[in-house]
Structures are given as C-alpha cells and as structure tokens.
C-alpha cells in the first residue's frame, strides 16, 4: 500500500487536476485582491467604510449561503456541470462588478459573485476526488496545492499593482478572460461526471433558517457602525432575530433528525463541537485583520495601494512556510497542540499592532507580519482536519458543509465587527493621525482578544500525544 501511495500519478490525471485548479484560481485571488481596493472604492463611490465593507462582507456571506447547495447540485446535476455554470456565473458577475455604477450595484454583483465562488471552492475538492480517487488526494494536492496556497499571498500584491496603475475596475475585469478560458478547457478536456442521484432532495428549510440567521446577525453588527455603538435598536433587533432563527433550526433538526443540513448528532463528539467554535473564532481572528491591514498601511502610513499590497507579502510567505510543517504535526501530535502553538505565534505577531502607529519602523512591521503569517497558517488546518476525526463516512458531506459555514460566517462577522470598531471610534474623535492610529489599534486589540479566546475550544481538540 505504501508503495502505491508513492507511485507517480498518470499524466492525464495531473492535467485534469490542473484544469480544475485553473477554474478555481479567479475566486481564490478575487477575495484577497478586493481587500486592497477598499479605500479606492470608498473614495470613488463617496461612501464610508461601514458601507463599502459590504463589498467584502456580502461576498463572504453569499459564499456561506452557497455552500449547502453544493452537495445537492453535485448529486442532482453532476460536479462538472455545476462547476461550469458557477464558473461562467462568476465571470459574468465580475463583468457586472467592473461596470458597477454605484456602491449598491457593486454590492449586488458581489453577492451573486460570492454565491458562485461558494459553489466553486467546495467543488474543487469534489472534482479532484472524482478525477483521481480519494486514495490519491495526498499526492495530487502535492502537485496542485501550490497555486491554491499562493492565492492569499499574491492576491493583495496583484490587486495593489492593478489599482495603482490601472483602476479598481480591472480587479474584476481580469477575471473575465480567465473564467472564459477555464470554462472552455473544462468543457472540452474534463471527463463528464454524471449526476450521482438525480432525485436528490434538498433541505430548503434548514438552508433558509441557517442563511437567515447568518445574514441577520452580520447585518446587525454592520449597522452598529452607523450608530457608533452596539446597543442601538437596529443591531439588537437583528441579532435577536438571528438567535431566534438559530433556535428554530435546532428545533427543526432535533425533530427531523434525518436528511438535515447539519445533523445535531455530529455535536455529540466533543472535538467536532470544539472545532466548530474554533472555526468561527478563527474566521474573526484571521479575516477581520485582513480587511484592516491594507487600510492601516494606506490611511495611516500614507502608502500607495501597490506598496500596501506588497507589505502583506511577509504574512503570506509565513503562511506558505508553515503549511507543510503543520500537516505533518497534526498527524504526529494532534490538532490540539498544533492549534495552541499556532495561537501563541499568532498572538506574538498580533500584539504589536495594538501599539504600532505611523512612526513604527517598516522592518519591524514586516517581521511581525511574517511571524503572524506562520501562526495563522497553523490555526485553520488543524481545526478543519479535526472536525472529521471520529465522524462516520456517511456524514463527511455534512461535516464539510458545517466547517465551511462556520469559517465563512466567522470571517464575515470578523470583517464587519472590526470595521465597526474602527469606524465607531473614528466617528467619535477628530480625524487626526493620532486618532486614526488609535482606531486601528482598537480594531487589532479585538482581533487579539478573539485569538486568545480561541485557546479555550482548542483545549478540547484531538490530542495524539496521549497515545505515546
């Protein structure tokens, strides 16, 4: 068995895998490229951060809503057909976003674009399994995994250069030829993947309850930025509605039990419950600062958008270097200690931002971001992996849906929450550089708090050291 695992993959399989990855590159780059353009979007559309951040938050929320549809569409219509339609829809919405005439139209196009991206990302894994088989996934990911990891690294750099020397509209326009070429190659070169169950039924009630819960809570948090506090009537009402919808889903899932989106029986495993809480907190701790960091360099330090993008490279390089080591450590010592170690390193790379200002040494900023990248690269992977430990194979699709929902909701919440903190502080104080610096320090402080809280669920993840 070991020998077969090391056998080289057939060239045809590798080529097909590269085609699938090509189809997923645009969504992977897009989510990180847009962060760097937030400042320009706010200026061109004459709106504030509390509104323009919906370009990012709305995209993430739409991805959350799309994830549950993936398994059903794959079962009903086949993975290749679903992937192709999502690819073309992503390209079409990119074209619409490029020609958006106001902030509302841009957010609308981004919502549909996010939905299509939410279909593409899970289908990437599904199609790779269909092409190579689950037994070859390790070898296959070793071949095609590099461009997947490079997305968060080169996205801000490419986005910064585009915005600096062209316009923000080209961030979306570049997706169009990529998606057209990818769709054509997938259509002509990738073997058909027939529908596995054309009569598959979809849990509409579960999706509506969970999607409504996510949207309501996030919208309530975003509204807090306009009131400069979290106790206003709109925020409290929306969050309350979200909690009611969550309770509604719990009751619905408890009574139905079978064929539900996320079976409650999964939460009987302590490590699964811990991973779910951890993924939400990790989304806040990682995605939230990704919105703030480009603005920190542009608004506070006066850097160009291209330099701001390049400034994030050390963090991406740190994540890239950590990834292969993290995979081995998870197998050897378990997710608990890998996550706790990653949290400790992330805190070391995040705490200085509570004190950094416009005068902080550039080399120190780069060093801290590099350290933060190493830590961040050791958080998500063990949490995602541990959610599957001990789960029956029949529930693998439901576990996958649950992990992606929690990660995306946490990311959307993190972006909205930290933007609210920053804008709320700026609305209450004079717009001097000192006060702007303090507003970002407040945002990073909350990111540190969420990172530290993540240590609690991490204590209940799998510990393989017990076996030694």
pLDDT in tens, the chain (468 residues): 444 444 566 777 777 878 888 888 888 888 778 877 888 888 888 887 778 878 887 887 788 788 878 878 887 888 888 899 999 999 999 999 999 999 999 999 999 999 999 888 878 777 776 776 555 555 565 555 556 666 666 777 888 888 888 889 999 999 999 999 999 998 988 877 777 777 767 888 988 898 888 778 877 877 776 666 677 888 899 889 999 999 999 999 988 877 787 888 888 889 999 999 999 999 888 878 887 888 888 888 888 877 887 888 898 888 888 877 887 788 788 889 999 999 999 999 999 999 988 888 889 999 999 999 999 888 888 888 888 888 776 676 678 778 878 887 788 788 778 888 888 788 777 778 888 888 888 999 999 999 999 999 999 998 877 655
CA atoms within 13 A on the CB side of 233: 0
Question: Using the 8-state DSSP alphabet, how is residue 312 labeled?
Answer: T
CA–CA distance, 449 with 406 (Å, rounded to integer): 19
Q: Residue 56 to residues 37, 153, 296, 380: CA-CA distances in angstroms?
A: 10, 17, 17, 20
Give Cβ neighbours of residue 402 (< 8 Å, ≥ 6 apart): 262, 266, 276, 387
> How is residue 109 written in tokens?
């196009």
Tokens of 9: 């993959």
Classified as helix, coil or strand, 389 is: coil
Quote the tokens at residue 323: 């990834």
């Amino acid at each position: 068995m070991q020998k077969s695992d090391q056998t080289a993959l057939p060239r045809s399989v590798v080529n097909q895998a590269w085609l699938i990855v090509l189809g997923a590159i645009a969504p992977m780059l897009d989510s990180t490229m847009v962060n760097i353009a937030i400042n320009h979007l706010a200026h061109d559309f004459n709106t504030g951060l509390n509104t323009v951040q919906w370009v990012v938050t709305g995209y993430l929320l739409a991805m959350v809503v799309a994830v549950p549809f993936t398994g059903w569409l794959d079962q009903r219509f086949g993975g290749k057909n679903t992937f192709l339609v999502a690819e073309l829809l992503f390209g079409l919405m990119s074209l619409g976003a490029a020609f958006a005439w106001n902030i509302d139209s841009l957010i609308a196009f981004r919502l549909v674009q996010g939905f299509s991206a939410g279909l593409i990302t899970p289908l990437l894994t599904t199609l790779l399994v269909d092409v190579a088989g689950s037994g070859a996934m390790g070898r296959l990911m070793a071949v095609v995994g590099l461009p997947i990891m490079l997305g968060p690294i080169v996205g801000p750099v490419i986005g910064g250069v585009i915005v600096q020397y062209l316009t923000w509209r080209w961030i979306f326009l570049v997706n169009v030829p990529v998606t057209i070429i990818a769709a054509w190659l997938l259509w002509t070169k990738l073997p058909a993947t027939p529908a596995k169950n054309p009569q598959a039924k979809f849990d509409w009630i579960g999706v509506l309850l969970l999607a409504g819960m996510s949207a309501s809570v996030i919208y309530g948090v975003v509204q807090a930025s306009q009131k400069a506090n979290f106790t206003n009537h709109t925020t409290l009402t929306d969050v309350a509605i979200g909690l009611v919808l969550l309770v509604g889903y719990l009751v619905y899932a408890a009574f139905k039990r079978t064929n539900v989106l996320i079976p409650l029986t999964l939460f009987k495993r302590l490590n699964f419950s811990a991973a779910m809480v951890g993924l939400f907190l990790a989304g806040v701790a990682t995605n939230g600062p990704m919105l703030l960091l480009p603005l920190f360099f542009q608004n506070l330090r006066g850097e160009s958008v291209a330099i701001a993008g390049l400034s994030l490279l050390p963090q991406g390089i740190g994540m890239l270097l950590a990834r292969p080591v993290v995979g081995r450590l998870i197998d050897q010592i378990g997710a608990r200690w890998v996550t706790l170690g990653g949290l400790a390193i992330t805190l070391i790379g995040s705490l200085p931002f509570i004190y950094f200002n416009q005068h902080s040494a550039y080399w120190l900023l780069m060093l801290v971001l590099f350290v933060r990248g190493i830590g961040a690269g050791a958080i998500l992977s063990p949490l995602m992996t541990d959610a599957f430990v001990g789960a029956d194979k029949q529930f693998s699709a439901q576990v996958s849906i649950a992990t992606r929902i929690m990660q995306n909701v946490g990311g959307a919440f993190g972006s909205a929450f930290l933007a609210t903190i920053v804008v709320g502080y700026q609305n209450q104080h004079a717009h001097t550089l000192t006060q702007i610096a303090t507003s970002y320090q407040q945002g990073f402080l909350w990111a540190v708090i969420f990172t530290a809280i993540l240590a609690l669920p991490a204590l209940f993840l799998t510990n393989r050291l017990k076996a030694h």
